[in-house]
Amino acid sequence: MFSLSQKNTLAEYTILSGADNRPPMLDKDLYDSWNSRMRLYMQNREHRRMILESVEHSPLIWPTIKENKEIRTKKYAELSAAEKIQADCDMKATNIILQGLQSNIYSLFNHHRFAKDLWERIPLPMQGTSLTKQKRECKLYDAFDKFAHIKVESLHQYYLRFTQLINDMNIYNMKLEQFQVNTKFLNSLPSKWSKFVTDVKHVKDFHTTKFYQLHVYLQQHEIHANEVRLLRERNQDLIAFMENQQMSPPHFNTYQSSYNNPQLQQ
């Protein structure tokens, strides 16, 4: 049986979670998946430890200073270098979470200033709207069945989308046979990859190979695959041109036919 956790290191996960440099968007039916990917996204940011500290514990307690016999909170410019970094991370943590919320959910939480408050409150409205385990699995299996290559995306972008889907399925303990995952990954690629897909499927250990290894192999041939696509497009344009020429009546023959018409010679 296939489990994404068997092959992915934390580093690979963080590359995935930060692939497009935007926080993952919350799907209210897949909160657990979002929670996991959001943590990984935060771990891929600068000062990741401080950001997670802000989310899991509490923000910086701003120090005070005595001035004119009165005690006041320090201004940002008066903080130490370490305190400034923590204050920045507190704000960054809050913004990361808010950016991962769709507008209808964002409006429920945008008044919260601290990441910890957000992190603890977001799951509450999800509990009443989340799908049952069976429906959630059906939704993910359906996404797996319908998964397809998007015309404008690169091989790596395609791989990242597929990995995210498999990761979501793994979070909910949905198991797939390795050959199912591999076959889906290969069969959903566009036709320019057909030669390389055929080669991969004939490898004797295809059923046990991890799909990320297939991605590594295909990446080595992406330039060739793109050349194949361009060549096919040029051939299609040439064929279309030739067919169009064959369907158009030649002007010379039409002239000759009219010239030899007996009625015109009388």
Q: Is 62 exposed, middle or buried (0-12, 13-18, 19+ CB in 10 A)?
A: middle
Helix 31-43 / helix 48-56 crossing angle, nearest 10 deg: 140
> Across-strand partners of 64?
73
Q: Residue 186: CB partners within 8 Å, gap ≥ 6?
A: 193, 197, 200, 201, 214
Find where tokens 């296939």 sit. 2
pLDDT over 50 (residue 74) = yes
What distance in Å separates the CA atoms of residue 201 and residue 68, rounded to the nearest whole number? Answer: 79
pLDDT confidence of residue 107: 84
> Which range is least confidently modeled, 81-95, 212-226, 241-255?
241-255
pLDDT confidence of residue 31: 84
The whole model's pTM is what? 0.56
Looking at every residue in the chain, the average pLDDT score rounds to 78
pLDDT confidence of residue 82: 92
Residues 193 and 171: beta-carbon distance below 8 Å = no
Give residue-wise pLDDT tens across range 125-175: 766 555 577 888 888 999 999 999 998 888 888 998 899 899 888 888 888
Helix 81-99 / helix 48-56 crossing angle, nearest 10 deg: 70
pLDDT over 90 (residue 212) = no
Give residue-wise pLDDT tens across range 87-130: 999 999 999 999 999 888 888 888 888 999 999 988 887 665 55
**Amino acid type, 70:** E
